[in-house]
Amino acid sequence: MKIKNICCIGAGYVGGPTMAVIAQKCPEINVTVVDINEKRIAAWNDEDVENIPIYEPGLSAIVKEARGRNLFFSTEVDKAIDEAELIFISVNTPTKTYGIGKGMAADLKYIELCARQIARVATTDKIIVEKSTLPVRTAEALKNILDNTGNGVNYQILSNPEFLAEGTAIEDLHKPDRILIGGDVDSEEGRKAMQALVDVYASWVPKEQILTTNVWSSELSKLTANAFLAQRVSSINAMSELCEHTGADVNEISKAIGMDSRIGPKFLKSSVGFGGSCFQKDILNLVYIAKSYGLNEVADYWEQVIIMNDHQKRRFAANIVKTLYNTVSGKKIAFLGWAFKKDTNDTREAAAIYVADHLLNEQADIVVYDPKVKAEQIYADLEALETHSSDEIHRRVKVVNTAQEACKDAHAVAVLTEWDEFKGLDWKAVYDDMLKPAFVFDGRNILDIQKLSQIGFVTSVIGQAVKSKKTMKEPSMAN
């Protein structure tokens, strides 16, 4: 079976970049990305490709190349469904905020709505691909809805989880470590559908990197991969706290253990805590699934990854308060970075949000600079927590356009995102503009601490003992 028309429901961080790359690499396939969010689709269609709604290095060039040729963004969901032989479902699957499983389970209402819409509209056989991250056995529910509410057409359900990371999405899509496709391996129709999707990816991905499995393994592999990655970050963050008490340096530890080929060097960067739309959501979902099978030890094991991550964010804020003589009330704290990692404008679950919230509890004034995040997003993130009134947030939090401006007259600077430009700041000029003693809290381990200490800063870095000019030679133990 040769695929000629693809529809992708959901024009978000996954749907947009993934379909752009498929369109780029498969010019013979028409790819239509649809969404109910009219504003988002309008932005994808903006004449100036720099205004597309998602910032990812390399993405705008691909959109420029393929848009209008074989890549289309539209709000006409029914039409795109009807025309396609293969439909990716790439809608959001957030943590449930109500009812059974509140705060833990994935909310599958958007997925179910897609299934019902496909069933209502489709008049020809379709391959339905789960691109969203879903609990294991969701394919069964999808199949049930499609078969029971459809027009008698045949559906094959595949699982094809996405492993891209934001900030490197295009690189990850161009050279994926693997493509995973799960399907009904026991039936002829299932194998044919899987082969059709394999053929799409084979246009640019070496065949040996395209893995086919049964559908449940594929669904659960995605949750497992995210859990393992997040667990590494929480593990190194747990060690970072021990480092601060013992004079060991967490960077040196990461290097030392990362050179063990069994451990490997990636995802060992200690930080103020992992953020992003998926790690927490997917682990909570995994914990919920384990609990629902009565596997309490499995659930507790993975829950600890989240507990450690919350602790890391909280203790970063608490350290700022403690270091600034136990009060930040009315003091100005400059935040460098708001996004959950560099090279993205995504702020979902960003550590900065929670650190800011803890500091607002202490009545701090916060001035934020992030090269890609807009002020309205920063205010919306804080308002969504519902812990402080909108008035208080607007009174206490300011958003500015340069790092230097953020740091002016500040008592302390906190690095929340590892944007490259923060490394190259004129730190002497920053120091001159700040109140003294001038404190820097590096939540990302990116600054040249020796240099900063020489300038006169008192520096506090995740996973290292506090340094100032006096303590540089012999690091004193943090307590």
| 278 annotated active-site | yes
Among 1, 5, 27, 36, binds ligand NAD (CB under 6 A): 36
Q: Considering the rule CB under 6 A, would residue 184 count as an interface residue with ligand NAD?
A: no
- Residue 16: CB minimum distance to ligand NAD, A: 7
Q: How far is the CB of 131 from ligand NAD (least distance, A)?
A: 6
* Contact status: 162 vs ligand UGA (CB under 6 A): yes
Between residue 291 and residue 350, which ones bind ligand NAD under the rule CB under 6 A?
Answer: none
Q: Which of 278, 313, 332, 467 is labelled catalytic?
A: 278
Answer positive or negative: Cα dihedral of 232, 308, 244, 424.
positive
Instruction: Give the shortest CB-278-to-ligand UGA separation in angstroms.
Output: 3
Out of 222, 313, 332, 341, pick the active-site residue: 222
Name the active-site residue from 56, 85, 130, 162: 162
Partner from ligand UGA, ligand NAD, none contacting 275, C-beta within 5 to 8 A by type? ligand UGA
| Minimum distance, C-beta of residue 35 to ligand NAD, in the bound complex (Å) | 4
Scan residues 118-157 and list those touching ligand UGA (CB under 6 A).
Answer: 133
Query: Is 162 among the residues known to form the active site?
Result: yes
110 touches, from ligand NAD, ligand UGA, none (C-beta below 5 to 8 Å by class) = ligand NAD
Least CB distance to ligand UGA at residue 133 (A):
6
Q: Which CB, 36 or 400, lies closer to ligand NAD?
A: 36
How far is the CA of 34 from the CAs of 38, 53, 124, in angstroms? 10, 14, 19
Site string for ligand NAD, 60-79 (x = CB under 6 A): -----------------x--
HEC letters along the chain: CCCCEEEEECCCCCHHHHHHHHHHHCCCCEEEEECCCHHHHHHHCCCCHHHCCCCCCCHHHHHHHHECCCEEEECCHHHHHHHCCEEEECCCCCECCCCCCCCCCECCHHHHHHHHHHHHHCCCCEEEEECCCCCCCHHHHHHHHHHHHCCCCCEEEEECCCCCCCCCHHHHHHCCCCEEEEECCCCHHHHHHHHHHHHHHCCCCCHHHEEEEEHHHHHHHHHHHHHHHHHHHHHHHHHHHHHHHHCCCHHHHHHHHHCCCCCCCCCCCCCCCCCCCCHHHHHHHHHHHHHHCCCHHHHHHHHHHHHHHHHHHHHHHHHHHHHCCCCCCCCEEEEECCCCCCCCCCCCCCHHHHHHHHHHHCCCEEEEECCCCCHHHHHHHHHHHCCCCHHHHHHHEEECCCHHHHHCCCCEEEECCCCHHHHCCCHHHHHHHCCCCCEEEECCCCCCHHHHHHHCCEEEECCCCCECHHHCCCCCCCC
Chain-centre distance for alpha carbon 380: 18
Q: Find which of ligand NAD, ligand UGA, none residue 17 binds, CB within 5 to 8 Å per kind.
A: none
Q: Is 163 in the site for ligand UGA (CB under 6 A)?
A: yes
The answer to whether 12 contacts ligand NAD (rule: CB under 6 A) is yes
Query: What are residue 149's phi and psi, to 5 degrees?
Result: -115, 0
**Position 40 contacts ligand NAD (CB under 6 A):** yes
Closest separation in Å from C-beta 151 to ligand UGA: 33
Beta carbons within 8 Å of 298's beta carbon, 6+ residues apart: 290
13 forms part of the interface with ligand NAD (CB under 6 A): yes
Which of the residues 339 through 398 are near ligand UGA (CB under 6 A)?
Answer: 340-341
Does residue 164 belong to the site contacting ligand UGA (CB under 6 A)? Answer: yes
Q: Which does 113 bind (CB under 5 to 8 A by kind): ligand UGA, ligand NAD, none?
A: ligand NAD
Nearer Cβ to ligand NAD, position 135 or 190? 135
Q: Contacting ligand UGA (CB under 6 A), which of 22, 52, 198, 229? A: 229
Cis peptide before 94 (omega within 30 of 0): no
Could you tell which of ligand NAD, ligand UGA, none binds residue 12, using a CB distance below 5 to 8 A set by kind? ligand NAD
The site partner of 279 among ligand UGA, ligand NAD, none (C-beta below 5 to 8 Å per kind) is ligand UGA
Distance from the Cα of residue 93 to its chain's centroid = 13
Binding marks (x or -) toward ligand UGA, 278..317, rule CB under 6 A? xx--------------------------------------
* Calpha distance 84→196 (Å, rounded): 13
Catalytic positions are 162, 222, 278
The residues of the shown chain that bind ligand UGA, judged by CB under 6 A, are: 133, 162-166, 226, 229, 233, 267-269, 271, 274-279, 340-341
The residues of the shown chain that bind ligand NAD, judged by CB under 6 A, are: 9-15, 34-37, 40, 77, 90-93, 110, 113-114, 132-133, 162, 164, 166, 277-278
